[in-house]
């Protein structure tokens, strides 16, 4: 058996009929494509009416002492949904779990989700799933730093499987081009436009210096610097990221307004001050440049972002009697 956390019941083919396996497979494909989800707005209106307010207030208190929390939680939700769907599998602890995969090496925010879970469970024990808390937290994080709010359809159940190998093979990379990014998002039922809009989440947060080595040290040019980078911006990057391989130093993904959720990210791309290769290619590629330019106006970007987030948050969700409601977000129930 592979390392990681695997539920023996859900992963034993002998315990499911062929027809049952077919139904599960079909449902998974439909949900990944954005259909067949029975998630509901106001899902906890009767069972735990104060759930969303409690989660928001808990995160607000934590944000007061940790200004970096919003991009951390937004990223955590993204990394959850792109591996096995939005089932909270990224939260599970243990050897060989998603958390141990190289793309997740610097994920944070787990303690904040645990705090929100504890606060909700004081009101309604065993009712609100960790997967739903993570979806609410992503929305709340955007709101807390000036971005739009949106209604989060809920009713997700928590998964019982978490494998590092799946995280490594499903998450997009910082050096991908538009073709690779489009193919990666398509595996999740998301379009190229969805990819461009969801990339706008990089209007907040930071990236480790190691992710731009290919642009300031190892680019195939005489200087080793990507010629697209303005000279003054390249100099700033090299001053902060003073040598290759730095994982403990970070640079703002949005060098203009990194603490505010706005549309500056797209304006930066037009000035060729996007940080990652996977950011800047969105402007350089003629197929995605029009949407980049349109999205530099937040009146255009915000509505599209909320729609894309709702769509992403419904990827391959577990519902009804599937999965479980974890007692602790980092562990499968006994």
Residue 114 assigned as binding residue: no
Residue 230 assigned as binding residue: no
Q: Which of 63, 77, 79, 211 is catalytic?
A: 79
What is the C-alpha to C-alpha distance for residues 249 and 213, in angstroms, rounded to an integer? 12
Residue 153 assigned as binding residue: no
Q: Confirm if 120 and 48 have CB atoms less than 8 A apart.
A: yes
What is the C-alpha to C-alpha distance for residues 127 and 163, in angstroms, rounded to an integer? 26
Residue 172 assigned as binding residue: yes
Residue 83 assigned as binding residue: yes
Token pair recorded at residue 157: 């159940």
Phi then psi dihedrals of residue 218, to 5 deg: -115, 15
Give the bridge partners for 324, in sequence order: 158
Cα→Cα distances 124→40, 43, 55, 85, 327, Å? 19, 14, 12, 25, 12
Residue 252 assigned as binding residue: no
Residues contacting 300, CB < 8 A, separation 6+: 263, 294
Beta strands in the chain (DSSP E): 206-208, 250-252
Residue 24 assigned as binding residue: no
Residue 95 assigned as binding residue: no
Residue 87 assigned as binding residue: yes
Residue 89 assigned as binding residue: yes
Respond yes or no: is residue 211 known to be catalytic: no
Q: How far is CA 174 from the centre of its chain?
A: 14
Nearest to 44 by CA among 149, 156, 159, 158: 156
What is the C-alpha to C-alpha distance for residues 51 and 11, in angstroms, rounded to an integer? 32
Cα→Cα distances 135→24, 113, 129, 138, 182, Å? 23, 10, 10, 5, 23
Residue 211 assigned as binding residue: no
Q: How far is CA 139 from the centre of its chain?
A: 11
Token pair recorded at residue 138: 């992503």
Sign of the CA dihedral running 184, 188, 191, 197: negative
Residue 254 assigned as binding residue: yes
By annotation, the residues acting in catalysis are: 79
Query: Annotated binding residues for heme b, as ranges?
Result: 202
- The binding site comprises 80, 83, 85, 87, 89, 98, 172, 202-203, 254, 257, 262
Annotated binding-site members for substrate = 172
Which residues belong to the annotated binding site for Ca(2+)? 80, 83, 85, 87, 89, 98, 203, 254, 257, 262
């Amino acid at each position: 058996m592979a390392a990681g956390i695997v539920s023996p019941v859900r992963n034993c083919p002998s315990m499911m009929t062929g027809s049952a396996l077919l139904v599960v497979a079909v449902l998974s494909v439909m949900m990944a494509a954005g259909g067949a989800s029975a998630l509901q707005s106001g899902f906890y209106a009767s069972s735990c009416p104060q759930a969303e307010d409690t989660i928001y207030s808990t995160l607000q208190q934590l944000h007061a002492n940790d200004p970096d929390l919003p991009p951390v939680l937004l990223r955590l939700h993204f990394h959850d949904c792109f591996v096995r769907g939005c089932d909270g599998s990224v939260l599970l602890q243990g050897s060989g779990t998603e958390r141990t995969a190289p793309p997740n090496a610097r994920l944070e925010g787990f303690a904040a989700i645990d705090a929100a879970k504890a606060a909700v469970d004081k009101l309604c024990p065993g009712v609100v799933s960790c997967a739903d808390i993570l979806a609410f937290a992503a929305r709340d994080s955007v709101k807390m730093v000036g971005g739009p709010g949106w209604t989060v359809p809920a009713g997700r159940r928590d998964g019982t499987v978490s494998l590092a190998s799946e995280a490594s093979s499903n998450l997009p990379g910082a050096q991908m081009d538009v073709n690779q990014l489009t193919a990666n998002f398509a595996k999740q039922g998301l379009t190229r436009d969805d990819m461009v809009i969801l990339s706008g989440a990089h209007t907040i947060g930071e990236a480790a210096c190691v992710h731009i080595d290919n642009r300031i040290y190892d680019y195939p040019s005489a200087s080793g610097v990507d010629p697209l980078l303005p000279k003054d911006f390249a100099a700033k990057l090299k001053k902060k990221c003073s040598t290759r391989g730095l994982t403990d130093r970070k640079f703002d993904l949005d060098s203009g307004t990194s603490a505010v959720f706005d549309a500056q990210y797209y304006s930066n791309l037009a000035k060729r001050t996007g940080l990652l290769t996977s950011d800047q290619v969105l402007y350089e590629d003629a197929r995605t440049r029009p949407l980049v330019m349109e999205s530099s106006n937040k009146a255009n970007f915000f509505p599209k972002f909320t729609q894309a987030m709702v769509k992403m948050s419904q990827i391959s969700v577990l519902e009804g009697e599937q999965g479980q409601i974890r007692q602790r977000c980092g562990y499968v129930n006994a």
